[in-house]
Structure 1
Amino acid sequence: MKRIFLLFNVLSLVGCVEHHITEKPANNLIDHGDYAIDTFFPSQVQDERVRFLIFHYTAVDDTESLRLLTQGKVSAHYLISSNPGKFNGKPVVLQLVPESKRAWHAGVSGWAVRNNINDTSIGIEIVNDGFHEHSSRRQWIPYHKEQMILAASLARDIIARYQIKPQNVLAHSDIAPLRKTDPGPQFPWKTMAQQGVGAWPDAETVTKYLQGKHRWSSGDVMIIQQALAAYGYTIPKTGKMNSETQRVISAFQMHFRPRNITGVADMETEAIARALVEKYCAQMPLLICCENLRYHYIA
């Protein structure tokens, strides 16, 4: 009986398809030479391939940025020049790679459970020197206001088109913290978040997790490691401070606490990390705080 029912369903579907092809308008059919494609039956089980939006600085001037991104071994979907031109009174961004194609901007990278972020991201390069070295100290170069206005407009459009989550709008240094520093601490992440681009912690939640302690007092390395890992960073979860942990914390600070990016595991860093996890990672494995204030994952 089940076989008869299944056969009836299959024959009904075949009949439906044949009826559709002969009766429906031809605009659902695409001619590919030796065969045709019918687009009348889209599956509901699908989503966008693009999940991440990544910001970069070029570290060179306009001319060299364009040369490297069009003729070199790296590329990006978009380039925002140091002084964007105008078309009909509107600022112009350069599209170097169609969004439907992969650009080579992320390199060896990872976020949350994903690697090879080139495969699932849109890359925006912004012409900016990054930093200058002065007596072993770095002077970070500010972005031009016009660049940031254009970057926000472009990013909002991309985010809306692919429904990119706030916590997936990232710095190159977020997804490759051991190799990269761009777009650096001068990138206005808080302002961008206020304009609908990217994540930012709620001040009240940060204060809650500070627990009345001074922001520069020592934080718990294990809590910071596990909170950053829950948020998406690739970081050891050993409870010990090492060079890798310090560099990842510094990358996190460049994004969310740019006034102090030393990589020290202080209390404010811990509070910001926990506030972000609370706000954006409800869908992640739950974090519970035990008596010793260590975090443990539960399914």
Structure 2
Amino acid sequence: MAKNITSIALAMCLTLPLIGCVSTTEPRYIIDSQTYQATGKSERIKTIILHYTVGDNARSLKQLTTGNVSSHYLILNEDDDKIYNLVPESERAWHAGDGGFAGRTILNDTSIGIEIVNNGIDPKYRNALKNAALKAEVQGYHPYKHYVEFEEIQIKKVAQLVQDLALRYDISPKNIIGHADMAPSRKIDPGAKFPWQRLYEQYGIGAWYNQQDKQLFMNQDKFEAATIPEIKQAFREYGYQINDSDEWDKASHDVIYAFQLHFSPQHLTATMDLETYAVLKALNKKYAGTDDFY
């Protein structure tokens, strides 16, 4: 009887090798990551995307820890020493959604998301664009005064965090962006009162234009001579996704507004004008050829 059982077991190992009858005499191979290293590589993280939460601390925490959205980091509006890491940097957070920037789409795969607790639009203005007169006055877009200020402690935390991330991942200044920059028809965060210029000047974070270059391009004749396709191509050169139609349609105005939120927040016309043109040209002059598309 014992002999029969042994024969059956041996037959099973011969005919079904995948069920666990692996020889213990097979050598174990090691992974060698030291002897050779490729030079054709780069960091997976290419972009830092900043958001506001449109809610208070409790609502923001609940949404970002139990809902279908998440971010790598959360900055509350409390005066403490905490920056909350909600998703490991090695993992994919669900913060960006549809859109793109600098030739890349599906930015959740290659970005770090930072959420900042802030109401975004002041509640008293939340429904202002339903007012026909105001909507016509501001072209259907919120003006600067509708946005809520960030707390000073939040700006300092953002500065520390983004400086560290940009250094560790060697992120291009152009690729430190707002949610609106990569999804202009869906999002307007981190809004007009996020201090992009201050972060650049005080902490060396992100991109900003040279004032001298802006003045150089403040030439009415050059602006009037520029065609719509030429101006849209200038937006693409900087990184924005914009259609190739020969008109300033709604989607194109959304891109202009997102650009102004970032670089001309007190000049939110949502229309292509001389100042916006000059800033765009100045940015392209300063940052031409600084993207790594690999």
**TM-score per shorter chain, which class?**
0.7 to 0.9
Higher normalized contact order (CA 8 Å, seq sep 6+, divided by chain length): 2
Aligned twin of 1:51: 46
Tell me: CA distance 1:245–1:56, structure 2 relative to 1, closer, same or farther (3 Å).
same
Report the alpha carbon displacement of residue 58 of structure 1 after superposing the two structures with TM.
0.3
* Secondary structure of residue in 2 paired with 1:56: strand
Which residue among 212, 215, 218 is the counterpart of 1:210? 218
Aligned ranges 1:148-167 → 2 under 5 Å: 148-167=155-174
Higher Cα radius of gyration: 2
In structure 1, what residue type is equivalent to 2:216?
A: K
**1:174 alignment partner, one of 178, 181, 184:** 181
Kindly state the Cα deviation for residue 220 of structure 1 after the two structures are TM-superposed. Answer: 5.2
CA contact (8 A) 1:219 1:270 kept: no
1:28-107 alignment runs, 5 A limit: 35-40=29-34, 41-85=36-80, 91-107=81-97
State the AA in 1 paired with 2:191: G
CA 1:43/1:189 → structure 2, altered by over 3 Å: closer, same or farther?
same
Q: 1:257 to 1:55 in 2, by over 3 A?
A: same
Contact 2:220 2:274 in 1 (8 A): no
SS of residue paired to 1:269: helix
Match of 2:152 among 110, 132, 145: 145
Structure 2 residue 114 is matched with structure 1 residue 119: no
Cα offset, 1:69, TM superposition: 0.7
User: Could you tell me how far 1:240 is from its partner in structure 2?
Assistant: 1.4
Could you tell me which residue of structure 1 aligns to residue 249 of structure 2? 242
The 8 Å contact of residues 166 and 197 in structure 1, kept in 2 or not, is answered as yes
**Contact 2:93 2:113 survives alignment (8 Å):** yes
Q: Among 185, 193, 199, which residue is 2:200 paired with? A: 193
Instruction: Tell me the residue number matched to 2:22.
Output: none
> 1:113-167 CA distances to partner (integer Å, 9 max, x unpaired)?
2100000000100000000353436521000011001101100000000000000
Bigger shift: residues 250-259 or 227-236: 227-236
AA aligned to 1:39 is S
Structure 1's unaligned 5+ residue stretches are: 1-32, 86-90, 285-299
Measure how far apart 1:283 and its partner are: 5.3
TM-score by length of 2: 0.79
Aligned length: 246
Task: Please give the alpha-carbon distance, in whole angstroms, between the structure 1 residues aligned to 2:47 and 2:40.
Answer: 20
Deviation at 1:261, TM superposition (A): 1.5
Q: Work out whether 1:225 is the aligned partner of 2:225.
A: no
- The answer on whether the counterparts of 1:76 and 1:124 sit within 8 Å (CA) in structure 2 is yes
Using the alignment, how far apart are the partners of 2:271 and 2:239 within structure 1?
19
TM normalised by structure 1 equals 0.77
User: What per-residue deviation string (whole Å, max 9, x for no partner) do you get for residues 219-255 of structure 1?
Assistant: 7533431111111111123331111111110000000
Structure 1 residues 82, 34: CA separation in 2 closer, same or farther (over 3 Å shift)? Answer: farther
Of 188-197 and 163-172, more deviation after overlay is shown by 188-197
Structure 1 contact 219–266 (Cα < 8 Å) conserved: no
Instruction: Confirm whether residue 184 of structure 1 aligns to residue 191 of structure 2.
Output: yes
| Higher-strand-fraction structure | 1
| Most deviating of 217-226 and 185-194 | 217-226
Q: 5+ residue gaps in structure 2?
A: 1-26, 135-141
Structure 1 letter corresponding to 2:82 = V
For the residue of structure 2 that corresponds to 1:38, the secondary structure is: coil
Do the aligned partners of 2:172 and 2:290 also contact (CA within 8 Å) in 1?
no
Q: Percent identity?
A: 39
